[in-house]
Amino acid sequence: MVATPIGNPGDVSARALQVLGEVDLIACEDTRRTGQFLAAHGLRKQLLSHYEHNEQRRVPDLVARLKRGTRIALVTDAGTPAISDPGYRLVRAALDAAIIVKAVPGPSAAIAALSIAGLPTDRFVFEGFLPTREGALRKGLRALARETRTMIFYESARRLAGTLATMASIFGQERDAAVMRETTKTYEETLRGSLGELAARFKNTETLGEITIVVAGAAPGSATPAAHAITVDTLLEEGVSLKQASAIVARLTGRSRREIYQEGLKKRPAG
């Protein structure tokens, strides 16, 4: 499992190049991209495509080759294999076949972002890409609302503004966070602030490039700012009307039923 640069080509390790030069076959996401990377370092190797949509059918063949003694390296287009990239199925199958699997560590966008976010690093959780549908996104974030560890997410540039706004509504406007764009590349950018500030910053700004979001965990034992909204949303998902949900939450929390009802109306899609 060989890690490759996430942007800056100078981040490849000497050991990675040595291993890539010694193996018999390199399994990779994009043969053209990997071929260009190898050529830049004076290497020519047999390449075999191994990406998300063909990984399951590739694994038996690769394991059979490994059993015959073929030395295989797995790389992805950028970063560490199997981390939000193909690789897990091959590793599991190889281990089940009593084949030795070794890591050649190197760049990872998640760890790179965490290291410069300015948020606690002693305990953290990697969540990868969030669901794309709004309902599933909100449900996933609500499940993390009381998470006390620092959270790391990957996101597409076109979805960044919406995701930050949803995070702010569920985690709280004041929750500290950082957005990293194009880490290690020419136009690298890191923005830090509260989720509310970052959501406003990207609301009307076109964003390009690879994005990593790092969000501070909830304070241990604290109630999340969106706890009431979570309860209303949960009731709505179970088929309870907004009017009934507002009355239930008002009774449980002591808040104004009218206030809760108006908050619920604002979340409803137009039309």
- At 2-37, the pLDDT tens digits run 999 999 999 999 999 999 999 999 999 999 999 999
Give the Cα separation of 165 and 229 in Å (integer). 14
Give the Cα separation of 178 and 113 in Å (integer). 9
pLDDT-based confidence at residue 248 (cuts at 50, 70, 90): confident
Average confidence score pLDDT of the chain = 91
Answer yes or no: are the C-beta atoms of 105 and 3 closer than 8 Å: yes
What is the number of other CB atoms lying within 10 angstroms of the CB of residue 189?
13
Q: What is the pLDDT of residue 228?
A: 47
Provide the pairing of β-strand 189-194 with 211-215.
unpaired
Q: In degrees to the nearest 10, what's the CA dihedral of 199, 204, 205, 208?
A: 80
Q: Under 8 Å CB-to-CB from 240, ≥6 apart: which residues?
A: 248
pLDDT-based confidence at residue 205 (cuts at 50, 70, 90): confident
Fold of 109-215: 3.30.950
What percent of the chain stands above pLDDT 70?
A: 93
Q: What does the pLDDT look like over 26-35, one tens digit per residue?
A: 999 999 999 9
Give the Cα separation of 21 and 44 in Å (integer). 8
Q: What is the CATH architecture assignment of 9-96?
A: 3-Layer(aba) Sandwich (3.40)
Is the confidence at residue 245, as pLDDT, over 60?
yes
Range scoring the smallest mean pLDDT among 43-47, 103-107, 259-263: 259-263
Residue 255 vs residue 243, higher pLDDT = 243
**Domain extents for the chain?**
9-96, 109-215, 227-267
How crowded is the C-beta side of 59, counted as CA atoms within 13 Å? 17
